[in-house]
Amino acid sequence: MGRLSGKVAIITGAAGGQGAAEAKLFALEGAKVVATDVQDELLQQTVKEINAEVGSESVIGLKLDVSNEQQWIEVVNKTVENFGTVDILVNNAAIFGKLGASVVDVPAEEWDAVFKVNAAGNFYGIKHVAPIMKEKKSGSIVNISSIAGILGGMGSVPYTASKGATRLLTKAVAVELGEYQIRVNSVHPGSVLTPALEKNATPEIIERMAKNNPLNFVGSSMDIAYPVLFLASDESRYMTGTEIIVDGGFSAR
């Protein structure tokens, strides 16, 4: 307990799945958390449940469409108004696109929509928290990419490409912001049983995912939240511009 005491974190995509797990874990570890999501009703219910479990009002929920830069500005301003600063940003929000679709069948609108959320959304968040972190000369930014950001053929073409963009956005910004003691790292989950996966994949696909892992199971959201916690905390103070793969050993094959 207390690994994030005194820290203020913004977490996107926190209405459920990995983002909700991260918000809960961060709050349990002493952080003040601004949980954000475009699904406001679900977000507020999740925030209520987390605060009840933590036993405090450590988490607040703010509606955010990460593809909208003006909404990012408003969320960052409200975070500072409520908690005084921003120490941690977790860019978790993402959408998939149609799984298994050939590149020739992907509509341009789908490509644009996926990149607006998965790539531009991360960029906007970094752009608007960086000045705060630069002024205080500290901060940790964690971008949730995917094993698809390292290996090809791991999902829809737009999703895979956007997660690769996230990986290199991480490295580019880490180099730029290092002199301000701002660390920027990425986490690359493999198969994780989130509401988004359950919505987009059949039970047969999920079973096949489990069998493809040397550990022979599909991970949980909390399996991702703990590595994110490590990168958010001062325990990883000598790590920046790198990635942590959390995929049950899939990429080791």
For the annotated catalytic residues, the residue numbers are: 159
Phi, psi for residue 93 in degrees, rounded to 5 = -60, 140
Distance from CA of residue 226 to its chain's centroid? 12
Phi, psi for residue 11 in degrees, rounded to 5 = -125, 125
Phi, psi for residue 140 in degrees, rounded to 5 = -135, 125
Distance from CA of residue 49 to its chain's centroid? 20
